[in-house]
Chain A
Amino acid sequence: RKEVEQDPGPFNVPEGATVAFNCTYSNSASQSFFWYRQDCRKEPKLLMSVYSSGNEDGRFTAQLNRASQYISLLIRDSKLSDSATYLCVVNGLSGGSYIPTFGRGTSLIVHP
């Protein structure tokens, strides 16, 4: 069983649409959670942390449900520039260090 699972997509949406991605994790001892964005043939870049109370950064909203072990990312008013792969990352404590586990990513294509 994969530790962090994401729907690979692609999600193909028009500009202005609202789109949501989910990510499930299997390790209930996971400590912290993040969303990264990865453009084609580039390195991943941190998009936002995910807090238990939910958090928002402009058009992006992240939610965490520890009981059901999933996190979500909501993008409102999609832009062409939002087209990318979104990686779910879960940090778990191992030997005194926080070691991240990455999902395979969800591909988003925003079209005119």
Chain B
Amino acid sequence: DGGITQSPKYLFRKEGQNVTLSCEQNLNHDAMYWYRQDPGQGLRLIYYSQIVNDFQKGDIAEGYSVSREKKESFPLTVTSAQKNPTAFYLCASSQRGQGDQETQYFGPGTRLLVL
């Protein structure tokens, strides 16, 4: 089955610790995205990548880092610099070249909790 997988489903972070969230897609999509969702809030864009080995900051990139070494993978690291990391993290992908009808498909998400 084609789709987007994220792991782990739940992740606990201690103070001062870096953690990495995994996102893998087998849809052969060029673009991948990371969002953060807080209760009662919309999705806020952290980072996005339109092509391998390239990525751009979104609206709330501070305290996060990403890499895009492979087309199918876009891991997100939540660093100790992110002071309020507790949130629901969603990864998405989309196929470029569809003009303004480019739509996103989401993974099931990772819930990050700070201990």
Contact = CB atoms under 8 A, between A and B. Distances in A.
A44 B101 contact: no
Contacts, number: 50
Contacts of B40: 8, 104
B107 A43 contact: yes
B100 interface: yes
B46 interface: no
Nearest to A97: B50
Interface in A69-110: 87, 91, 93, 95, 97-100, 102-105
A8 B39 CA distance: 12
Contact of B31 (A31, A34, A87, A97): A97
Given A43-B90, A97-B31, A91 B102 contact: yes
Interface residues of A, number: 24
Interface in A19-61: 31-32, 34, 41-46, 49
26 contacts: A8-B40, A31-B100, A32-B100, A32-B101, A32-B102, A42-B108, A43-B106, A43-B108, A43-B109, A44-B43, A44-B106, A46-B103, A46-B105, A49-B101, A87-B42, A87-B43, A91-B102, A97-B48, A97-B50, A98-B99, A98-B100, A99-B45, A102-B42, A102-B44, A103-B42, A104-B42
Interface of A: 4, 8, 31-32, 34, 41-46, 49, 87, 91, 93, 95, 97-100, 102-105
